[in-house]
Amino acid sequence: MAGGADWQPHARRRGGHVARPAQPLSRCSRRTCAAGLQADRDGRTGGRRRHLVPPHGGAIPHPRRRGRMVPVGASRPDALRCGGIRPQPDRRGPLSLARPAGKNAIGHDPRGPSRRTGAADGGETLGLGTAMDTRPVRDSFVSRGSVGLTPRQRQILRLLCEGKANKEIARELDIGVGTVKQHLVGLFKRLNVRNRSMAVSRGLSLLAAPDARAEQTDLDTALTDTDWLQQRTLARRPCVVLSLALPDAAPAELRTALQRALAARAFDARALLIPRDQGLGDLLFGVRRSSENDLLAAAALLSNLCQDARAAAPTGPDQLRVAIDAGMAVVSKDRRGAWTGEAVATPAVARTRHLLQQTADGELSLGAGARDLLRAFGAAPAATARKPLPLCDLPRLFLLPSRSRASLVGRDHEWARLNAALTPGAAGRVIRLEGERGMGKSSLCQAALSHCQSLGGRGLYLRTLPDAGGAPFRDAVSGAPVGLEQAIDALSAPIAGQPDLLVIDDLHLLPRPTATRVLAQASPAAARGRVVLLSGVRSAPAGAAHRADDADRAEPIRLRRLPDAAIRRLIDDLAAAADTPPDPEIRRHICRQAAGVPFFAVELARASGDELPLPLLAVIAARLDGFELDWRMLQTLAETATSRHHLAGLSEDLGQPLAQVRDAVSAAVRAGILTGGPGQDGDEPVAFRHPLIRRAVATLGI
């Protein structure tokens, strides 16, 4: 996206950018500002929150933190948060993923306008760089911020977008074909595109702009129109990027087949597709809705795409070049926290494309962010190595490292029950491991499998994949895809030796009918002497449904939060493994923050500095995305210096009626994000339920 110093988002044209004025303007948040109050009285701009002022002595009051002054133009984004002038979220050369429009455009949602992804309401196009273009797309913003097409260019662009040939355009406008060509040259230059199809792509979104005059709108007018800003807020989201390319010499049929497959699979996986003019394109997972399984979803999609490539040409997969990385994306959300599909920018895309440049045909490169996620969510160490993998080794991404029970702390009681079930000669059972994210369900399943194998028994570990179609499981040892029928066969197969263990992990990811079919076989398998170990997130609605189905048959083992002593031991174990002396202060801090969740403790202990590690952000963002929340209210709360906040002050800071704030807070309390809020005896001060959630919200906001 454009560099922060000279460019700023256009206030009305979402995703658009305009030149930053020489004297930085900011929306005044001073409650006593005379100009703002006058504007209020005049009813001109809708009040002081909309009134534009030059900086008060080079600094302005922070819009939400009372008493705090922030320098205008400071690099911290929150310095300018009181108004429509939003700084660039990231200046490391992110790419614009803002919306294109039209049927084939990125983010186009064939399910119709109600679920539109922002493509239809105009504004900006994607920065359609070249295949490997990793430079910031500032140039295209230059032309975008002031596209200023002549009426004739506009007419021609419209006809181009209707798919008309030069001759037809000439006939329609009653001009010569040569003149059309001349206009096209000017038009391409204006749009900063190189060819007709790029012009069409840009044109579709420009022409879809709700107010075509917006291009000419003068800066001040644009900046005072903050309706859309009032409705939206920007957020940073953890995302996974899958970047794919084919060599120029790849057969046309292969390219076409893959392009089609990519579009269909991206749609199924709810990923955002950014096609490239020559290559295949980039897929973004998690910007519409965060999930800690985005990486698995990306890997599953890639595995399906390799099959498509093989079907199109036997050597198809050998020609594909793939890079996967994870990082942060910038998206805009509406007040309730729903993704609006606007103004998406992500340095992760630039990084992944860069990685792709260093990848050979038939190989897959993993960036540091992706490796981090893989490790945190239990991939085999081999898959987290820095070297590119041959694409045919893709299944290795799904492997789980074997794990001994000794590496788990504080789970003696749970382990004793599993151990008893796996004693040779014991009766078969169905056991259900349940607990919040990161409580160690998969780790216990892995330890059970290792134990079973060490006893000479037979074990199968099926890992559920967040995959829209195809096989719903992977064999966690071989990485091979396992279809539903195969899983059912495995459950009902005769017992070959003792103990006989079948693990199905992350059951909550299965669609309900699939889960029902699997569960129907669990009890008969146990009656035959098999130990069926099911695991799933307790709070997931799907998990709740599964529980109801097998409630009378499965024995639950609930993984509760670990006591502080166990978390301290865990931190010390990690310090010992990393050969660093344990620091009591850090240990205390991590213990406080982790609040008994081992995953939090492991990630915080691994993190360097103050930044929250990506896997943690991914988990928390996924949790927040699961509810309808007023994101802006949460961000305001997360930024306040006090840990508890009174609703009246919050309402004043947000400029919203108290009743509205009460509703928003109540929703967040019901979701388990906040505590306090409206009660029977009046409003209680609100606070985040967990300090990590507060930190994550502050990090995710802009």
Ligand X SMILES: Nc1ncnc2c1ncn2[C@@H]1O[C@H](COP(=O)(O)OP(=O)(O)OP(=O)(O)O)[C@@H](O)[C@H]1O
# of chain residues touching ligand X (CB under 6 A): 20
Q: Which is nearer to ligand X, 252 or 577 (CB)?
A: 577
- Say if residues 222 and 240 touch (Cβ distance below 8 Å): no
Residue 465 touches which member of ligand X, Mg ion, none, C-beta under 5-8 Å by kind:
none
The packing angle between helices 294-312 and 252-268, to 10°, is 150
Q: Which is nearer to Mg ion, 8 or 535 (CB)?
A: 535
409 binds ligand X (CB under 6 A): yes
Cβ neighbors of 694 (< 8 A, separation 6 or more) are: 637, 638, 688
Name the nearest CA neighbour of 534 among 431, 414, 444, 400: 431
Name the nearest CA neighbour of 573 among 408, 411, 378, 443: 408
Binding mask 386-425 for Mg ion (x = CB under 5 A): ----------------------------------------
Among 141, 599, 631, 688, binds ligand X (CB under 6 A): 599
Among the residue ranges 166-174, 408-416, 587-595, 659-667, the one whose residues contact ligand X (CB under 6 A): 408-416
446 binds Mg ion (CB under 5 A): no
507 binds ligand X (CB under 6 A): no
Q: Which is nearer to ligand X, 539 or 660 (CB)?
A: 539
Cβ neighbors of 153 (< 8 A, separation 6 or more) are: 183, 186, 187, 190
Say if strands 7-9 and 17-19 run parallel, antiparallel, or are unpaired.
antiparallel
- Which residue in the block uniquely carries the two structure tokens 């355009």? 169
89 binds ligand X (CB under 6 A): no
| Least separation in angstroms between CB 441 and Mg ion | 5
- Say if residues 66 and 639 touch (Cβ distance below 8 Å): no
| Least separation in angstroms between CB 560 and ligand X | 11
Q: Which is nearer to Mg ion, 388 or 543 (CB)?
A: 543
Q: Which is nearer to ligand X, 203 or 378 (CB)?
A: 378
# of chain residues touching Mg ion (CB under 5 A): 2
Name the nearest CA neighbour of 225 among 63, 60, 78, 46: 46
Distance of alpha carbon 684 from the chain centroid: 33
- Ordered alpha helix ranges (H), 166-293: 166-173, 177-191, 196-207, 219-224, 227-231, 252-268
656 binds Mg ion (CB under 5 A): no
Helix (H) or strand (E) holding 7: strand 7-9
| Least separation in angstroms between CB 463 and Mg ion | 8
Q: Which is nearer to ligand X, 180 or 376 (CB)?
A: 376
| Least separation in angstroms between CB 414 and ligand X | 9
Residue 62 touches which member of ligand X, Mg ion, none, C-beta under 5-8 Å by kind:
none
| Least separation in angstroms between CB 408 and ligand X | 4
Q: Which is nearer to ligand X, 128 or 619 (CB)?
A: 619
Q: Which is nearer to ligand X, 144 or 441 (CB)?
A: 441
332 binds Mg ion (CB under 5 A): no
| Least separation in angstroms between CB 537 and Mg ion | 8
Query: Distance (Å, rounded) from C-alpha 373 to C-alpha 435?
Result: 20
Among 84, 598, 676, 678, binds ligand X (CB under 6 A): 598
Listed in order, strand segments (DSSP E) in 521-667 are 531-537, 555-558
Binding residues for Mg ion restricted to 424-443, rule: CB under 5 A: 441-442
39 binds ligand X (CB under 6 A): no
Q: Which is nearer to ligand X, 288 or 403 (CB)?
A: 403
* Chain residue whose CB lies nearest ligand X: 440
Among the residue ranges 221-229, 511-519, 577-585, 595-603, the one whose residues contact ligand X (CB under 6 A): 595-603
Q: Which is nearer to ligand X, 372 or 506 (CB)?
A: 506
- Say if residues 372 and 533 touch (Cβ distance below 8 Å): no
Helix (H) or strand (E) holding 27: strand 26-27
**Does residue 363 sit in helix, strand or coil?**
strand
Cβ neighbors of 174 (< 8 A, separation 6 or more) are: none
| Least separation in angstroms between CB 443 and Mg ion | 8
Residue 408 touches which member of Mg ion, ligand X, none, C-beta under 5-8 Å by kind:
ligand X
498 binds Mg ion (CB under 5 A): no
| Least separation in angstroms between CB 263 and Mg ion | 31
DSSP for 299-346 reads HHHHHHHHHHHHHH-TTHHHH-EEEEEEEEEEEEEETTS-B---S-EE
Cβ neighbors of 24 (< 8 A, separation 6 or more) are: 54, 55, 72, 73, 80, 85
Residue 599 touches which member of ligand X, Mg ion, none, C-beta under 5-8 Å by kind:
ligand X
| Least separation in angstroms between CB 532 and ligand X | 17
Q: For the chain, how far is it from start to end, CA to CA, in angstroms?
A: 15
Q: Which is nearer to ligand X, 117 or 464 (CB)?
A: 464
Q: How many Cα neighbours within 13 Å face the side chain of 269?
A: 35
Q: Which is nearer to Mg ion, 240 or 439 (CB)?
A: 439
| Least separation in angstroms between CB 452 and ligand X | 17
Residue 85 touches which member of Mg ion, ligand X, none, C-beta under 5-8 Å by kind:
none
| Least separation in angstroms between CB 296 and Mg ion | 11
Query: Distance (Å, rounded) from C-alpha 52 to C-alpha 84?
Result: 9
Name the nearest CA neighbour of 587 among 603, 615, 567: 567
293 binds Mg ion (CB under 5 A): no
Query: Distance (Å, rounded) from C-alpha 60 to C-alpha 5?
Result: 18
Q: Which two tokens stand for residue 464?
A: 């559920």
Residue 437 touches which member of ligand X, Mg ion, none, C-beta under 5-8 Å by kind:
ligand X
Q: Which two tokens stand for residue 117?
A: 């992804």
Binding residues for ligand X restricted to 428-447, rule: CB under 6 A: 435, 437-443
Q: What one-character DSSP code corresponds to residue 701?
A: B
411 binds ligand X (CB under 6 A): yes
Binding residues for ligand X restricted to 371-400, rule: CB under 6 A: 376, 378
- Torsion sign across C-alpha atoms 59, 63, 69, 70: negative
Q: Which is nearer to ligand X, 540 or 687 (CB)?
A: 540
410 binds ligand X (CB under 6 A): yes
Binding residues for ligand X restricted to 537-566, rule: CB under 6 A: 537
Binding stretches for ligand X (CB under 6 A)? 376, 378, 408-411, 435, 437-443, 506, 537, 570, 598-599, 602
